[in-house]
């Protein structure tokens, strides 16, 4: 009985480094574990700030100038119609 206890003690002692090693192996593996997730947005890309800035100023310029041209065209059309109507009416009245 005493020899059996001694045998179990020696066996346990001899296996303890293996269990410790196994424990260390798990920790090291966990510390290096990575989770791959789908990217949201474009954090990993090198975004060209200069192009975005030029785009912003360009779009603003185009929109403002486009609106000015649109006002000019509407003004010219209204003035033309007004002139034609006045001429027609004065012809009929006169």
Partner 1 sequence: MKDSSSTRPPLGWLVLAAITMALVLVSVWATFVHAPVEMRMGVVQKIFYIHVPSAYAMYVGFVVCAVGSAIFLVKRDEKWDALAVAGAEVGLLFCLVVLITGPLWARKAWGYWWTWDPRLTTTLLAGMIFTAYVVLRSFGGGEAERRFAAGLAIVGLFDLPVIHYSVQRWRGTHPTVISSRGGGLHPDMTHALLVGFVLFTALVALLIWTRTRTERDRQALQALELEAAERGLLEDL
Where on the chain is the footprint of partner 1 (CB under 8 A)? 40-43, 47, 49-50, 52-53, 55-57, 59-60, 63-64, 67-68, 71, 74-75, 78-79, 81-82, 85-86, 88-89, 92-93
Nearest residue (CB) to partner 1, 17 versus 41: 41
Nearest residue (CB) to partner 1, 31 versus 44: 44
Return the number of other C-beta atoms located less than 10 Å from residue 79's C-beta: 10
CB of 70 to partner 1, least distance (A): 9
DSSP assignment letter at 45: S
Q: How many CA atoms lie within 13 A of 57 on its CB side?
A: 5
CB of 47 to partner 1, least distance (A): 5
Q: Please tell me the distance from the alpha carbon of residue 27 to that of residue 19, in angstroms, as a whole number.
A: 12
């Amino acid at each position: 009985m005493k020899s059996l206890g001694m045998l179990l003690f020696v066996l346990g002692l001899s296996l303890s480094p293996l269990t410790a090693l196994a424990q260390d192996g798990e920790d090291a593996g966990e510390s290096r574990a990575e989770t791959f997730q789908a990217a949201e947005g474009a954090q990993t890309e090198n975004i060209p700030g200069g192009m975005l800035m030029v785009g912003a100023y360009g779009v603003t310029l185009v929109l403002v100038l486009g609106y000015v041209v649109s006002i000019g065209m509407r003004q010219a059309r209204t003035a033309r119609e007004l002139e034609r109507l006045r001429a027609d009416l004065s012809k009929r009245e006169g």
